[in-house]
């Protein structure tokens, strides 16, 4: 499963926490408003009932009401009952349940079908065991309606608000982490391009990301230094080995000229000579790679790639004949490109040499060059031993050989194809390989035409 990005993780956590906190606050506020509303109505009704009662005057066994007594005041309706609960004065609201029992000094919420009421009763004793009940009734329907509407509204607004908070949060985190993305891109560019001399650009603000970029730059500096040391060492060793190896070769060649040598001695010297030549090739190639990696400048000049291939083919015809391999070259005229002649010769030499070395006796090698879309397309195709699928990706690595003993026998170093690839890259080209084990191999490459 794909890992969630930091941006998404932070946004989810932050939105989740805000959703819980905001949701709790909203629920508490609604409960509080409801409670405050109810207790305010309770106080209002009880005060109104007490106020209304001042209109009642008691005299021994009877009572009378003031002439201007109103049974409705500011949303509250008043009723007067006798001690048996019989309604004496006032009107009961139509939907109010008439059978609601009288209960002294206890404000209550009464619910009927779809309405809610607040009721407050108070009782007065007079005469000989007589009682008079005063009831105040007010509808709390509008308050309930307000609460219900608020709840519905919040149910719509709340998720929208959370989505909005999440989106704003994501946008802000994205902005804050943009520098991290930039650092990642730059690090990737540097490591892909393998140019460790490049450095990350430092952000303007001297924050944590500034420090991170600085640390990366320090790391690149150390890496560059150690790679440079390693390259220098390879170059120095290869260079130092060239002279002694050249001396061994020339001494062996000199010894072989001696006619008095026995067959056994000649064979032994030839073994030394073969190994010394292999070593000379290896040191030469290592030196070339090390120099290239040190950024050696190459002489890029206009050249005819077709002509260059002709030269290499002619040079290798003799070697191919030893295995009775037939080499053909197909090419159009004027295949001009800009390149380093020595390197391109080396590249074609390596490819055709491999085709001979890993080709079968009486086989064929076809070198086909074409012009296509302003590019030179080249192919070196053999009907040799081929390369199995598992090795195909690895043959470009330095010192990688499918069959070490066969490579050694052919004087191979395992550096040939890695050199081919960097020479092609240096000339803004690409190369790929197609091969079927036992059938043959094709190396297909392309360069820009001049
Ligand atoms: P080497 O010096 O061993 O030839 P290269 O880098 O040139 O090194 O090639 C790497 C390996 O790829 C070789 O050892 C060989 O196994 C394989 N290879 C290269 N070219 C061919 C080819 N034309 N046919 C079959 N195998 C090949």
Classify residue 104 by its DSSP letter: B
CA of 417 to the centre of ligand 1 (A): 7
Classify residue 414 by its DSSP letter: S
> Of 51-60, 79-88, 200-209, which range is least confident?
200-209
CA of 435 to the centre of ligand 1 (A): 12
Angle between helix 341-357 and helix 416-426 axes, rounded to 10 deg: 140
CA of 400 to the centre of ligand 1 (A): 8
> Of 18-22, 253-257, 296-300, which range is least confident?
296-300
Beta strands (DSSP E) in 113-230 are: 115-126, 130-139
Q: Are 40 and 47 in contact (CB under 8 A)?
A: no
Confidence of residue 190 (pLDDT cuts 50, 70, 90): confident
Q: Are 400 and 394 in contact (CB under 8 A)?
A: yes
d(CA 131, CA 321) in angstroms, rounded, equals 137
Q: Are 364 and 321 in contact (CB under 8 A)?
A: no
- Calculate the alpha carbon distances from 281 to 243, 286, 296, 382, 416 in Å: 13, 9, 20, 24, 10
Classify residue 403 by its DSSP letter: S
pLDDT digits (tens, 9 = 90+) for 64-88: 988 888 999 888 999 999 989 999 9
3-state DSSP assignment of residue 335? coil
pLDDT digits (tens, 9 = 90+) for 275-315: 999 899 889 888 888 887 777 778 889 999 999 999 999 99
3-state DSSP assignment of residue 87? strand
Confidence of residue 129 (pLDDT cuts 50, 70, 90): confident
d(CA 149, CA 146) in angstroms, rounded, equals 5
pLDDT digits (tens, 9 = 90+) for 23-33: 999 999 999 99
pLDDT attached to residue 1: 43
pLDDT attached to residue 2: 55
pLDDT at 162 over 50: yes
Distance of CA 25 to the CA centre of its chain: 36
CA of 353 to the centre of ligand 1 (A): 9
3-state DSSP assignment of residue 375? strand
Whether this prediction's pTM lies above 0.95 is answered by no
Site residues for ligand 1, CB cut-off 6 Å? 350, 354-355, 358, 382, 384-387, 395, 400-403, 407, 412-418, 441
Q: Which of 364, 417, 421 to mutate to test the pocket of ligand 1 (most atoms within 8 A of CB)?
A: 417
H or E, element range at 387: none
Q: Which of 359, 407, 436 to mutate to test the pocket of ligand 1 (most atoms within 8 A of CB)?
A: 407
pLDDT digits (tens, 9 = 90+) for 213-251: 899 899 989 988 888 888 888 888 888 998 999 999 999
pLDDT attached to residue 111: 86
- 26, two tokens: 């909203």
pLDDT attached to residue 60: 81
Among candidate residues 26, 30, 51, the one with its CA nearest the CA of residue 122: 51
Among candidate residues 329, 237, 305, the one with its CA nearest the CA of residue 450: 305
d(CA 292, CA 396) in angstroms, rounded, equals 17
pLDDT digits (tens, 9 = 90+) for 360-369: 999 999 999 9
CA of 169 to the centre of ligand 1 (A): 56
d(CA 340, CA 426) in angstroms, rounded, equals 9
Classify residue 261 by its DSSP letter: -
d(CA 120, CA 291) in angstroms, rounded, equals 103
pLDDT attached to residue 404: 83
pLDDT attached to residue 413: 85
Question: What DSSP line would sit under 296-333, residue for residue?
Answer: -----EEEEHHHHHHHHHHHHHHHHHHTTPEEEEE--S
Residue reference for tokens 């800009």? 338
d(CA 274, CA 232) in angstroms, rounded, equals 28
d(CA 349, CA 343) in angstroms, rounded, equals 10
């Amino acid at each position: 499963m794909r890992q969630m990005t930091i941006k998404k993780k932070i946004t989810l956590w932050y939105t989740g926490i805000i959703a819980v906190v905001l949701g709790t606050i909203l629920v508490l506020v609604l409960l509080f408003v409801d409670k405050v509303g109810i207790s305010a109505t309770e106080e209002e009704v009880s005060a109104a009932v007490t106020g209304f009662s001042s209109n009642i005057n008691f005299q021994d066994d009877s009572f009378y009401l003031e002439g201007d007594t109103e049974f409705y005041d500011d949303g509250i309706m008043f009723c007067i009952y006798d001690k048996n609960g019989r309604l004496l004065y006032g009107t009961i609201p139509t939907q109010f349940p008439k059978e609601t029992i009288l209960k002294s000094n206890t404000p209550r919420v009464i619910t009927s079908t779809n309405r809610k009421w607040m009721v407050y009763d108070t009782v007065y004793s007079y005469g000989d065991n007589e009682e008079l009940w005063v009831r105040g009734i007010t509808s709390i329907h509008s308050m309930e309606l307000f609460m219900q509407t608020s709840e519905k509204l919040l149910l719509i607004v709340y998720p929208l608000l959370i989505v909005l908070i999440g989106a704003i949060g994501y946008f802000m985190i994205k902005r804050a982490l943009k520098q991290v993305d930039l650092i990642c891109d730059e690090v990737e560019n540097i490591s892909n391009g393998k140019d460790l001399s490049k450095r990350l650009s430092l952000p303007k603000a001297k924050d944590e990301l500034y420090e991170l970029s600085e640390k990366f730059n320090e790391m690149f500096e150390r890496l560059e230094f150690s790679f440079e040391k390693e390259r220098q060492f390879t170059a120095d060793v290869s260079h130092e080995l060239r002279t002694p190896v050249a001396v061994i070769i020339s001494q062996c060649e000199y010894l072989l000229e001696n006619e008095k040598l026995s067959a056994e001695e000649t064979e032994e010297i030839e073994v030394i000579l073969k190994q010394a030549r292999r070593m000379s090739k290896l040191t030469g190639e290592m030196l070339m790679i090390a120099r290239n990696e040190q950024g050696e400048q190459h002489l890029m000049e206009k050249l005819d790639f077709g002509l260059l291939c002709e030269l290499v083919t002619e040079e290798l015809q003799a070697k191919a004949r030893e295995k009775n391999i037939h080499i053909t070259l197909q090419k159009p005229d004027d295949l001009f490109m800009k390149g380093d002649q020595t390197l391109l010769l080396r590249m074609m030499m390596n490819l055709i040499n491999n085709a001979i070395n890993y080709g079968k006796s009486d086989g064929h090698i076809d070198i086909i060059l074409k012009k296509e879309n302003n590019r030179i397309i080249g192919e070196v195709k053999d009907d040799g031993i081929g390369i199995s699928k598992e090795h195909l990706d690895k043959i470009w690595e330095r010192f990688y050989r499918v069959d070490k003993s066969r490579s050694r026998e052919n004087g191979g170093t395992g550096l040939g194809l890695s050199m081919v690839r960097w020479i092609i890259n240096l000339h803004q080209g690409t190369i790929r390989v197609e091969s079927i084990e036992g059938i043959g191999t094709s190396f297909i490459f392309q360069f820009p035409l001049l």
